[in-house]
Amino acid sequence: MPIATSSMSVSPLSVPAPSKLDFGAKIENASIENMSDDDFALIRDTLYKYQVVVFKNQSGLSPKAQYELTRRFDPSAQGYGHGKTLDAKRSILHPDLKTVPHQPEVQIIGNGFVPEYEGLKNIKLVHPHHKKFHKHAISEEDDLDYTRFYRWHIDAALYDLNPPKVTTLVAVSVPKGRRQTLRYDDKTGEELDVPLGTTAFVSGYNMYNILSDKDKEFVRTSRIEYAAHPYIWMSGAKSRSDGLGLFSDNLELPESELPPIDASKIQVLPMVWKNPVTGQLALQMHPSAIRKIHLANGNVIDDLENVREIVHRLQRPAISPQYVYAHDWEEGDLVLFNNQGVLHSVVGAFREDEVRLFRQCNMAASEGPLGPDAVVG
């Protein structure tokens, strides 16, 4: 039954069989540019109950209004979620994002040549392609018919800055007309039919809920230490074919080749984060940036290959096809997601003439994520 307030209405996303999705909602008749406190209260409540919220027909949404909506979830937040790390040429994020000059918290992502947009001219956008990041790539002849999850992740600097609470994505220009088969290529044979250039989401709450009782106890009582300057540190490493973490081939940069490290800025975060509204527990880890596991008894697992194997085993069941929401983008879509409750991945292989233009915004949170023992309500 849709829930109504003011002119807005909320309804769960329709889920085709055999999907087991239990998250995602659509809000209709929303005026983001002229949002009342009651309207925002409904949006916030919906976000934390459904994790991914879709607004249609938002083509006129300005970068300023997108920023203001994003920041409203955390009014004390300051600055873009990755801070100045995008300035580092060796960062794996550097080629993928352009900054809106008059709204620096908002980034432009996509594919192809854009003559002019929001004060930027002659933009060359590069959609992340798995062949640049995965150890084993799909063949050239299959490239436009098949695709992969590029990198499952949380939007977060994971050094110095707190992980953003929410991310907003606006679809400005969307190429249509073809679909691709997403291959896991991890010996499971699993595949997923996806729209071209989809953004894929999985629920961290489901990722936790489907664990065994023993694994639930392990993740509730363990913490992840992330690498210093993780997106530079991992720049030489290559991903698994399912996009869920990296191979251990000793290709990470040594500390001597990283920017100066302040030990106080290295992040050690809970494996499990609590939803601030529902109290649900989510297994939230960025599998590519992990470095060590801190156990409840004070011991530390610091063998990187072992750390990666443990995390992959814990996370992999929840990215199987029946648990993935692959959003079918239309121009004017605004998607808001709980960055502390879902993982997401870029997907797709575009031709050069297929122009895709999106805006992304997230803000480094004013506080760390809630751990499993936090009190909410």
Look at residue 93 and tell me whether its pLDDT is greater than 90. no
Q: Model confidence at 79, in pLDDT bands (50, 70, 90)?
A: confident
The Cα-based distances of 32 to 36, 268, 322 in angstroms read 9, 36, 32
Share of the chain above pLDDT 90, in %: 87
Look at residue 3 and tell me whether its pLDDT is greater than 80. no
CA-closest candidate to residue 157, choices 55, 69, 85, 210: 85
Supply the pLDDT for residue 182.
98
Look at residue 290 and tell me whether its pLDDT is greater than 50. yes
State pTM to two decimals: 0.95
Cβ–Cβ < 8 Å for 163, 155: yes
Q: What is the rounded distance in angstroms from the CA atom of residue 15 to the CA atom of residue 21?
A: 7
Look at residue 326 and tell me whether its pLDDT is greater than 80. yes
